[in-house]
Amino acid sequence: MKCLPVGMSVYARAGHVRQAVEALSKNRLAEKTRFFVFSDAPKPGDEEKVSEVRKYLRTIRGFKSVEIVERTENDRVKNNRGGMRALLDQFGAMIFMEEDVLTAPGFLTFMNQAMEKYDDRDDILSVSGHSPNLRANARADVDAFLSRRFHPWGFGITRANFELITALPTWPEISKDRDTVMRLKEMGKDMLPMIKAEADVAVNALDLRICYASAKLQKWHVLPTQTLVRNIGIDGTGAHCGTRDPYLQDLLSVKTVFRLDEHITPNKRALREYKKFYSPSLSFPRRIKRLAYKMQSKVSNP
Q: For residue 28, what are the domain limits?
A: 6-296
Residue 238's pLDDT is what? 45
- CATH code, 232: 3.90.550.10
CA-based nearest residue to 222, from 141, 110, 133: 110
- Indicate whether 1 belongs to any domain: no
Q: Report percent pLDDT > 90 for the chain.
A: 79
Assigned domain for 292 exists: yes
Residue 288 domain-assigned (yes or no): yes
Does the residue 29 lie in any domain? yes
Pick the more confident residue, 144 or 140.
Answer: 144
Average pLDDT estimate for 173-189? 95
Asked if residues 231 and 132 have their Cβ atoms less than 8 Å apart, the reply is no
Q: What is the dihedral of CA 239, 243, 245, 246, to 10 degrees?
A: -100
Q: Helix, strand or coil for residue 283?
A: coil
Structural domain contains residue 301: no
Cα(299)–Cα(4) distance, integer angstroms: 28
Q: How many CA atoms lie within 13 A of 56 on its CB side?
A: 21
State residue 263's pLDDT score: 93
pLDDT tens, residue by residue, 48-90: 999 999 999 999 999 999 999 999 999 999 999 999 999 999 9
Q: Which of 1, 71, 9 is nearest to 35 (CA)?
A: 9
Stretch 229-249: mean pLDDT, rounded? 58
Total domains, the chain:
1
Inform me whether the pLDDT recorded for 294 exceeds 80.
no
Residue 21 lies in a domain: yes
Q: At what angle do helices 191-199 and 206-217 cross, to 10 degrees?
A: 110
Q: Is residue 47 part of a domain?
A: yes
Q: How many C-beta atoms lie closer than 10 Å to residue 140's C-beta?
A: 16
Q: The sheet that has 155-158: what strands, in order across it? A: 65-70, 34-39, 6-10, 93-98, 155-158, 124-128, 220-224, 144-147
| Strand pairing class (124-128; 220-224) | parallel
Q: Is residue 302 part of a domain?
A: no
